[in-house]
Amino acid sequence: MKMKIQAFKDAKSYYQKVHPFLVRNEAENNLALGLLNQIIDGRYQNPFLALAMLEEEVVAGFLMTPPHNLIIFVRPEYKQNHDELAEKLFQFLMENETFVPGLIGEKETVKEFSQIWERMTGKKSSTAMRQRIYRLDKVNKVNISEGIMRKANEHDIELVSNWIRGFIEDTGESTLPPEQAKQRAEEMIENEKSIYLWEVNGNPVSMARSARKTDNGITINLVYTPNEFRKEGYGTSVVATLSRKLLEAYDFCALYTDLDYPTSNKIYMEIGYVPVCDSTLIKFEQE
C-alpha cells in the first residue's frame, strides 16, 4: 500500500477522520484536540490540517495554526514508519511552499522527524523545550496559602498583560510586544473569561488559565507568579483551586510543563498531576 499526505480545508471533515484515534489518548493529545475544537469554532484562520493515509486508514496527523509550530501525532502501531512518514510530510510541505517554524509532539517522534528534516534540507534543528504532559483526575490534599481565587476582570487587563509578557520571557521564547500582550489579555479576560488570579489582601499575586477543552477534559496553562511573590505557595494554591473547580465540570485536567524547571514539576505532582508522556518542541533553522 502506498502512503500519501492529504490536506484538508474543512476542519469538520478533518475532525471526523482524526478524532477517533486522538481521543483514545485524550490527555496526551490535549493540544491537538483542543486546538481542533477552536479551529472549528472559527478562532484560527488558515490552519494547516493534514493526514498521512494508507488507503483509507489514518496513520498520522499534522496540525498547525500559523505562526505556531506544527503538531505531530502518530498512531502507535505505525511509529516504526517514521522515516517514510517524515519524508512524505516534508516533501509535501516543500512542494506546497508551506512554512513550518518547528515541530511539537511526542519526544521520540519529533526527534526522528527533525533528523530527517535536517537530512532533506541541509539545515539544523534545535531543542527549544523539553516538556512533560500531565493528567489530573483528583486533587490531593495540599497546603493552600492565605488568599482567595477570583476570575480576572476588565480592571486586571494591564496587570495580566504584563504577567503574560513575564511568562513568555520565563519560557525563553522571544518577548511579546506590549500591545500584543494587552490584546491577548483582553481576549482571555473579556471574551474567554479564562484567567484566574490568586489574591492576598486585595493584591493579585499569581495567575492561571483554563484553556482548550477536549471531549472530557480541559487544560490549565499560563501559570505565572512574579518573582516578588514566589516561594509563598501562591502558584500551588491557584493551580490546585482552579483544578478542583474545573473537575466539577470535566473528568480531568491536563497541563504541559517545562522539564528544565523541576520545582514546578514537583509541585504539580504534589497536587495530583500524573505524568502521561514527554513532549519536545523543536525549532528549525531558517534562512
Closest CA to 145 of 247, 239, 224, 58: 239
Position 75 scores a pLDDT of 85
Position 136 scores a pLDDT of 98
Q: How far apart are CA 5 and CA 88, in angstroms?
A: 7
Position 1 scores a pLDDT of 66
Per-residue pLDDT of 6-56, as tens digits, reads 999 999 999 999 999 899 999 999 999 999 999 999 888 899 999 999 888
Question: Confidence band (pLDDT; 50, 70, 90) for 171?
Answer: confident
How large a percentage of the chain has pLDDT more than 90?
Answer: 83
285 versus 174: which is more confidently predicted? 285
Per-residue pLDDT of 68-108, as tens digits, reads 999 999 988 776 768 888 999 999 999 999 999 999 999 99
Position 78 scores a pLDDT of 73
Question: Confidence band (pLDDT; 50, 70, 90) for 173?
Answer: low
How large a percentage of the chain has pLDDT more than 70?
Answer: 98
Position 234 scores a pLDDT of 97
Task: Give the predicted TM-score (pTM) of the model.
Answer: 0.91
Position 2 scores a pLDDT of 84
Domain at 139-271: CATH code: 3.40.630.30
With 70 as the cut, is the pLDDT of residue 134 above it?
yes
Asked if residues 3 and 85 have their Cβ atoms less than 8 Å apart, the reply is: yes
User: Is residue 106 exposed (0-12), middle (13-18) or buried (19+ Cβ within 10 Å)?
Assistant: buried
Question: Confidence band (pLDDT; 50, 70, 90) for 287?
Answer: low
Q: In what order do the strands lie in the sheet with 70-74?
A: 3-8, 48-54, 57-64, 70-74, 102-106, 274-284, 125-136, 252-258, 217-224, 203-213, 195-200, 148-151
Alpha helices in the chain (DSSP H): 11-22, 30-40, 82-95, 107-121, 157-171, 178-186, 234-246, 262-271
With 90 as the cut, is the pLDDT of residue 133 above it?
yes
Q: How far is CA 169 from CA 31, 209, 226, 239, in A?
A: 21, 17, 12, 20
The CATH number corresponding to 3-134 among 3.40.630, 1.10.10, 3.40.50, 2.40.128 equals: 3.40.630
Question: Confidence band (pLDDT; 50, 70, 90) for 174?
Answer: low
Position 3 scores a pLDDT of 87
Position 84 scores a pLDDT of 87
Residue extents of the structural domains in the chain: 3-134, 139-271
Question: Confidence band (pLDDT; 50, 70, 90) for 181?
Answer: very high
Cell of 80: 516504526
Q: What is the mean pLDDT of the chain?
A: 93
